[in-house]
Amino acid sequence: MYRYNEPDVQSVSRATSPRERERLAAASSPIEETLDPADWESFRAAAHHMLDVMIDFQRDVREQPVWRPVPDVVEARYREHAPHAGAGLDAAIADFETMVLPYPTGTPHPRFWGWAGGTGSPTGMLADLLASGMNALQGNFNDAAARVEAQALDWMKEAFEYPRAAGGIVVSGGSVANFVGLAVARDSSVDYDVGTDGVGAAAGRLVLYASTEVHSSVFKAAKLLGLGRNAVHLINVDAAYRLQIPELIARIEQDRRDGLRPFAIVGTAGTINTGSIDDLEALADLAAAEGLWFHVDGAIGAMAALSPETRDLVRGMNRADSLAFDFHKWMYVNYEAGCVIIRDADALRRTFAAGGDYITPLPRGPGSLLDAAVGRGPQQSSAFKALKVWLTLKEHGFDKFGRLVAQNVAQARYLAARLDASTVLERVAPVALNVVAFRARVPGASGAAADEVNRELLMRLQESGTAVPSGTVLNGQFVLRTCICNHRTRRADLDALVEAAETEARALMSD
């Protein structure tokens, strides 16, 4: 066996001067580089400068346009070739300040209500710095990050009335959370090992159910799970955009008669288009009666459970076999952070158990938890996303988040009332939660012409920097919608939206 021969440090140091040793070391070893700064004090100064810049950015965000386009001169710089020699930290930071920071999506702004964008928070920003500074891997190792994630999961189980023993994982967002939930649903629905033999071995095509308002990530999940998009059988909604249960019951019966294999029902708590909430209690009853997995996509609306004022809206959510939700939407956690809770922790493990000699846990040491983490989701290495959830919850407490959720719901109702009083704009859907859909009235215009006016109205609002709603189609009509996952919004901001939209709409119609 080869034995490394320990050098005799004593004799070497006696035999040579320090300078001679340095010369010998330099001659015998290659240049060894590092990414550490040559001078930690100038790094410290640059870092403090950036922290100040970002604190000012947060504090003064209201004074900025919500969004502004990237100008051509800046755009051109994004076509520069790859740097082979570095320009140094100061130059790189200067580029960030001129090329990146002035052109945000706009989510931190009090008048950003597009899609389901969440505001983030100053503490969330800090938490990402801390997590990144530790360069911690979430959940995979026997370390503090695993404890933080587990505790954050426990707190969410408590908030959503799930048993402590339930499984779960903090993931990148609602899409992955839906994917994980439906993967476990699929694997739990057949009596063989899907992971080994694939979906093709199932007797009868696996199908699941959701309303026509379901989020596209459920289709994506169906595709990735080998079920195919057409495996998502869509059930019509009622006038309040909620899944029609009698139609669902009939469809399940029909599918069974046709030799298909129903395995899951997806209920949505807070649809992306209108914020509608399916009758989760009734869906839970039906899933139980039919022996189907019940998954809830609560990406937006799960947080309604945090306030006593809105909790009843999501009654039945705690009966789901799997619940997907986003921290980065209505819990205002900085991107990205989502979560899925799976009632049966073993079922989650069965789906994602990976194995491999390189992750076989030892009884002690940093690797002693390895399989536990790798066995909970599709990722192996994962950023320490739970820290920002944990830190902001410690700072503010659940009650504060509940109050903010209720505040956003009250603001949505306020906006609805303002729209209902407008002669220029009209609200086009009931307001169940924090989403308000509306459009400009375009008297006498065809559907296509009215849609064109509303598309133009939306773009003008966004480009003016006043507000960022987003668009969608309801009942075949293009509409604008605001989704208020925003702790900075004040009622005056909604007044500003209505006034700007009325002014632009009038201008458009006189064009």
**Positions in the binding site for ligand PLP (CB under 6 A):** 116, 173-175, 178, 215, 217, 268, 271-272, 297, 299-300, 326, 338
How many Å separate Cα 189 from the centre of its chain? 27
The answer to whether 276 and 238 have CB atoms below 8 angstroms apart is no
Report which DSSP code applies to 169.
Answer: E
How many Å separate Cα 172 from the centre of its chain? 6
Q: Return the number of the residue (210 or 348) whose C-beta is nearest ligand PLP.
A: 210
Q: How far is the CB of 381 from ligand PLP (least distance, A)?
A: 19
How many Å separate Cα 244 from the centre of its chain? 28
The answer to whether 292 and 284 have CB atoms below 8 angstroms apart is no
Q: How far is the CB of 75 from ligand PLP (least distance, A)?
A: 26
Angstrom distance (rounded) from CA 409 to CA 435: 8
Q: Return the number of the residue (418 or 481) whose C-beta is nearest ligand PLP.
A: 481
H/E run at residue 250: helix 245-257
3 DSSP β-pair partners: none
Q: Return the number of the residue (214 or 497) whose C-beta is nearest ligand PLP.
A: 214
Structure tokens at 361: 């846990």
Q: Return the number of the residue (108 or 173) whose C-beta is nearest ligand PLP.
A: 173
Cα distance between the two ends of the chain: 88
Q: Return the number of the residue (175 or 407) whose C-beta is nearest ligand PLP.
A: 175
Q: How far is the CB of 171 from ligand PLP (least distance, A)?
A: 9
Q: How far is the CB of 278 from ligand PLP (least distance, A)?
A: 11
Structure tokens at 148: 């933080």
Q: How far is the CB of 98 from ligand PLP (least distance, A)?
A: 29
Report which DSSP code applies to 78.
Answer: T
Q: Return the number of the residue (151 or 470) whose C-beta is nearest ligand PLP.
A: 470
Q: How far is the CB of 270 from ligand PLP (least distance, A)?
A: 6
Nearest to 127 by CA among 342, 388, 356: 388
Angstrom distance (rounded) from CA 492 to CA 497: 9
Q: Return the number of the residue (373 or 433) whose C-beta is nearest ligand PLP.
A: 433
Alpha-carbon dihedral angle through residues 484, 487, 490, 496, given to the nearest 10 degrees: -50
Owner of token pair 């987003």? 470
Q: Three-class SS of residue 122?
A: helix
Q: Return the number of the residue (216 or 254) whose C-beta is nearest ligand PLP.
A: 216
Helices 386-420 and 122-134 cross at an angle (nearest 10°) of: 160
Q: How far is the CB of 149 from ligand PLP (least distance, A)?
A: 18
Q: How far is the CB of 275 from ligand PLP (least distance, A)?
A: 9
Q: How far is the CB of 263 from ligand PLP (least distance, A)?
A: 20
User: Which amino acid type is present at position 467?
Assistant: A
Report which DSSP code applies to 206.
Answer: E
Q: How far is the CB of 434 from ligand PLP (least distance, A)?
A: 11
Q: Return the number of the residue (422 or 482) whose C-beta is nearest ligand PLP.
A: 482
Q: Return the number of the residue (211 or 454) whose C-beta is nearest ligand PLP.
A: 211
Structure tokens at 56: 């000012």
Q: Return the number of the residue (271 or 407) whose C-beta is nearest ligand PLP.
A: 271
293 DSSP β-pair partners: 264
Q: Three-class SS of residue 246?
A: helix
Q: Which residues contact 237 (CB under 8 A, 6 or more apart)?
A: 211, 212, 213, 243, 244, 276
Q: How far is the CB of 497 from ligand PLP (least distance, A)?
A: 20
Structure tokens at 465: 């920097």
Q: Return the number of the residue (472 or 503) whose C-beta is nearest ligand PLP.
A: 472
HEC secondary structure over 311-335: HHHHCCHHHCCEEEEECCCCCCCCC
Nearest to 473 by CA among 212, 200, 268: 212
The answer to whether 232 and 208 have CB atoms below 8 angstroms apart is yes
Q: How far is the CB of 334 from ligand PLP (least distance, A)?
A: 13
Q: How far is the CB of 492 from ligand PLP (least distance, A)?
A: 26
Q: Return the number of the residue (458 or 483) whose C-beta is nearest ligand PLP.
A: 483
H-type alpha helices, 276-424: 280-290, 345-352, 370-374, 386-420
